[in-house]
Structure 1
Amino acid sequence: MIIVRLRGGLGNQMFQYAMGRRIANDLGTSLKLDLTSLLKTYKSQMVTNRDYQLDIFNLEPIFLIQPDLLIKLDKLGLNFVSQFIKGIKLLGIKKYREKTFTVEDWIVENPKDNFLYSGYWQSEKYFKSAEDLLRKDFQFKDILSPQAQDIFDKIKSENAVCVHMRRGDYVDNPVFNSGSLDYFTSAANYINEHTEKPHFFVFSDDPEWCLKNVKFEQDFTIVDYKTNKIKFKEDLQLMSSCEHFVMSASSFSWWAVWLSNKEGNIVVAPKPWFLNSENDVKDLVSKRWIRL
């Protein structure tokens, strides 16, 4: 049995699931998802509380403990995390915590069974061998809402460029690079010089800010729509339908590019990926991407 601990938003959860799915598939064993850290309520302003978000896909998860039970325990204020860890040890499961941002070769080449893997695992190297399997797992479950479908139709009628402006908890954060307007303008100019008649579709968790501040010289659309469906799910689906990409330093951007699965497209990514970090992103950022 392989256990993977989920934490963070959708992009992080996709990395964690993908790594665990590949290991379980290689070893011919089961994958169970541990949500104890994900569904715990954090009071620190430095931590954004998240929900389990992989249910937008067609994958069939097996949870170590059911989400409803974990949420109830959290509301009761019980320290279920420490009790859970003790229980795991009694079952003979060893816990391994990611030690470095770069790929740990033994996990790629000789992963171990009966382990709980805790980390972010942000590299395609961890799951490249299971790409076909994961592309089936990461198929979107529901059709687009009418509002999102209208945008999708427009994207498909243009030489569409996805511009992802990640703001939210990235703004004023000393670690994460939300990207300056100069970066996005330079990236748009680069793509304009290297492709014919691009139309830039700007996606953001803060479209109101984009409407006030984004002024590209090229044709562009600020994607801002109301929907009764899951907004981040529809955004990811729309983003991945574009031809070219201007990324934020975000796992959400990363997966939009991966899901697009287009050879020879232009992808611009920010440099640096982190503002104040010694993390080496060579295993995360593709060598073919343009860094600006």
Structure 2
Amino acid sequence: MIIIKVMGGLGNQMQQYALYEKFKSIGKDAKLDISWFEDSSMQEKVFARRSLELRQFKDLQFNTCSTEEKEALLGKSGILGKLERKLIPSRNKHFYESDIYHPEIFNMSDAYLEGHWACEKYYHDIMPLLQEKIQFPESANSQNITVKKQMKAENSVSIHIRRGDYLDPENEAMFGGICTNSYYKAAEEYIKSRVPDAHFYLFSDDSVYLRENYPGDEYTIVDWNKGEDSFYDMELMSCCRHNICANSTFSFWGARLNRTPDKIVIRPAKHKNSQEIEPQLLHELWDNWVMIDGDGRIV
């Protein structure tokens, strides 16, 4: 059995779910472990408390593991369990993500997988299946209904600018300074050179910043989805014809769920500051995505 640990925010949860569907598509027995959201001690270790937001999607089905199934792969907790794993390492099937892409996991039959699995190559080939399964419930907000119609009727482009928690000291060293003004300017210019009459829809956790920096009729600021309704921003991103992402799995999924056949999807060349930019590898693992670095250069 393959068990995939679910943790983190919505975008990460969707990647863990996507990997689960990938394993199922190749005939593997796979389940999700959702205990991270039920363990208060784990929640205390993260800066922002999370809930299992996968449940917000309409009729999304997935199988979860039992405690016994988890222990069969990891062994029991406590001193005796740790001693057993130390003396007999082969009994511990715990696999930690440590690289950008781990193709070897698809050869495993029994493993407990822990990671975020952001790489597009993991599930690019089953994206049509994921687009069918991941459905948003109908929004009761008339603004969402109206803007969805507008997006589908014009050359709409989403721009995601994540500030908020990325400016906190806990996150800035890892995620800050990647999506620079030069990145966004180059991304807009790339779109404008290929898409006539592009209209940009801006999404951010800092609407004041958007109003100060993006004046003009070519921009529409989407700032009304709050709290539990925030995930409708992802749906609206997916309704645009083209997407400019932040270094955020939230906007990655807005782009992934976009069904426009000839869509242009732009992302920063780095997701984290610890990542080295390897152009050839990036293009292999993120097929058809446009990569732009912090200096505004296409990679």
When the two structures are superposed, what TM-score results if normalisation uses the length of structure 2?
Answer: 0.77
Q: Give deviations 1:186-205, integer Å, cap 9, x for gaps.
A: 32233122211111000112
Q: Hey, what's the Cα distance between the residues in 2 that align with 1:218 and 1:268?
A: 22
Q: Hey, what's the Cα distance between the residues in 2 that align with 1:40 and 1:210?
A: 37
Structure 1 residues 290 and 60: alpha-carbon distance in aligned structure 2, compared to 1, 3 A threshold: same
Q: Any idea what SS the aligned residue of 1:190 has?
A: helix
Matched, 1:240 2:238: yes
Q: Hey, what's the Cα distance between the residues in 1 that align with 2:217 and 2:192?
A: 8
Q: Hey, what's the Cα distance between the residues in 1 that align with 2:236 and 2:9?
A: 18
Q: Give deviations 1:157-200, integer Å, cap 9, x for gaps.
A: 32101001112222251111452233223322331222111110
Equivalent residue runs for 1:66-215 within 5 Å: 82=77, 94-101=93-100, 103-108=101-106, 110=107, 112-143=108-139, 145-171=141-167, 173-177=172-176, 179-215=179-215
Structure 1 residues 288 and 233: alpha-carbon distance in aligned structure 2, compared to 1, 3 A threshold: closer
Question: Does 250-259 or 202-211 show the bigger shift?
Answer: 202-211
Q: Give deviations 1:116-138, integer Å, cap 9, x for gaps.
A: 11111122322234334322221
Aligned length in residues: 267
One-letter amino acid of the structure 1 residue matched with residue 61 of structure 2: E
Equivalent residue runs for 1:57-68 within 5 Å: 57=57, 58-64=59-65
Q: Give deviations 1:23-81, integer Å, cap 9, x for gaps.
A: 1332352x32212334444445x633211111132321233369xxxxxxxxxxxxxx9
Contact 2:266 2:290 in 1 (8 A): yes
Q: Any idea what SS the aligned residue of 1:7 has?
A: coil
Q: Hey, what's the Cα distance between the residues in 2 that align with 1:39 and 1:205?
A: 27
Give aligned-pair identity as a percent.
29
Q: Any idea what SS the aligned residue of 2:175 has?
A: coil
When the two structures are superposed, what TM-score results if normalisation uses the length of structure 1?
Answer: 0.79
Question: Does 136-145 or 237-246 show the bigger shift?
Answer: 136-145
Contact 1:200 1:219 in 2 (8 A): yes
Post-superposition offset of 1:260: 0.4
Matched with 2:4 is: 4
Matched with 2:254 is: 256
Post-superposition offset of 1:95: 1.9
Contact 1:39 1:50 in 2 (8 A): no
Q: Hey, what's the Cα distance between the residues in 2 that align with 1:98 and 1:189?
A: 35
Q: Hey, what's the Cα distance between the residues in 2 that align with 1:263 and 1:226?
A: 27
Contact 1:240 1:257 in 2 (8 A): yes
Q: Hey, what's the Cα distance between the residues in 2 that align with 1:97 and 1:194?
A: 41
Question: Does 265-274 or 193-202 show the bigger shift?
Answer: 265-274
Q: Hey, what's the Cα distance between the residues in 1 that align with 2:205 and 2:66?
A: 31
Ranges of 4+ aligned residues in structure 1 off by more than 6 Å:
none
Matched, 1:34 2:30: no
Post-superposition offset of 1:19: 0.9
Q: Hey, what's the Cα distance between the residues in 1 that align with 2:173 and 2:235?
A: 30
One-letter amino acid of the structure 2 residue matched with residue 194 of structure 1: R
Matched with 1:270 is: 268
Structure 1 residues 278 and 290: alpha-carbon distance in aligned structure 2, compared to 1, 3 A threshold: closer
Matched, 1:23 2:16: no
Question: How well do the aligned residues superpose, as a CA RMSD in angstroms?
Answer: 3.0
Contact 1:32 1:61 in 2 (8 A): yes
Q: Hey, what's the Cα distance between the residues in 2 that align with 1:142 and 1:86?
A: 47
Post-superposition offset of 1:15: 0.9
Question: Does 255-264 or 178-187 show the bigger shift?
Answer: 178-187
Q: Any idea what SS the aligned residue of 1:130 has?
A: helix
Post-superposition offset of 1:9: 1.0
Structure 1 residues 186 and 99: alpha-carbon distance in aligned structure 2, compared to 1, 3 A threshold: closer
Contact 2:238 2:254 in 1 (8 A): yes
Segments of structure 1 that go 5 or more residues without pairing to the other structure are: 67-80
Structure 1 residues 135 and 169: alpha-carbon distance in aligned structure 2, compared to 1, 3 A threshold: same
